[in-house]
């Protein structure tokens, strides 16, 4: 899994209470990609959150299932929900 520090989200900006990010395209879930891409590429989900994980605090794009399992919540320093801008 790649370590994400500062990063560019592409065509997006923060709205509202900073828990939500508008994105032009939903990225693949980093967790799914890391765990499933070799054996089950069809099971790699689109990410719905960008947030810190329980995996040593690294940041990742996460689908709903992975966020439920590995996310630590939403908010400043925790995570944001990704929303399609279209």
In the list 23, 32, 70, 82, the residue contacting Zn ion (rule: CB under 5 A) is: 32
What backbone phi and psi angles, to 5 degrees, belong to 8? -95, 130
Among residues 12, 21, 29, 82, which is the contact residue for Zn ion, using CB under 5 A?
A: 29
23 is a contact residue toward Zn ion (CB under 5 A): no
Q: What is the CA radius of gyration of the chain?
A: 12
60 touches Zn ion (CB under 5 A): no
The site that binds Zn ion (CB under 5 A) totals a number of residues, namely 6
Q: Give yes or no for residue 21 binding Zn ion (CB under 5 A).
A: no
Residues in Cβ contact with 64 at an 8 Å cutoff, skipping those fewer than 6 apart: 45, 48, 49
Least distance in angstroms from the C-beta of 31 to Zn ion: 4
Q: Is 66 in the site for Zn ion (CB under 5 A)?
A: yes
What is the number of other CB atoms lying within 10 angstroms of the CB of residue 4?
Answer: 13
Q: Which sign, positive or negative, has the C-alpha torsion 45, 60, 24, 21? A: positive
Give the three-state DSSP class for 10: coil
Does 31 help bind Zn ion (rule: CB under 5 A)? yes
**Using CB under 5 A as the criterion, which residues of the chain lie in contact with Zn ion when the complex forms?**
29, 31-32, 45, 63, 66
């Amino acid at each position: 899994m790649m370590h994400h520090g500062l990063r560019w989200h592409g065509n997006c900006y923060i709205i509202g209470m900073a828990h939500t990010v508008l994105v032009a395209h939903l990225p693949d879930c980093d967790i799914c990609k890391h765990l499933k891409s070799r054996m089950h590429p069809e099971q790699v989900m689109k990410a719905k959150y960008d947030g810190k994980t329980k995996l040593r605090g690294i940041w990742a794009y996460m689908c709903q299932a992975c966020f439920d399992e590995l996310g630590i919540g939403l908010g400043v320093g925790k995570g944001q929900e990704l929303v399609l801008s279209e």
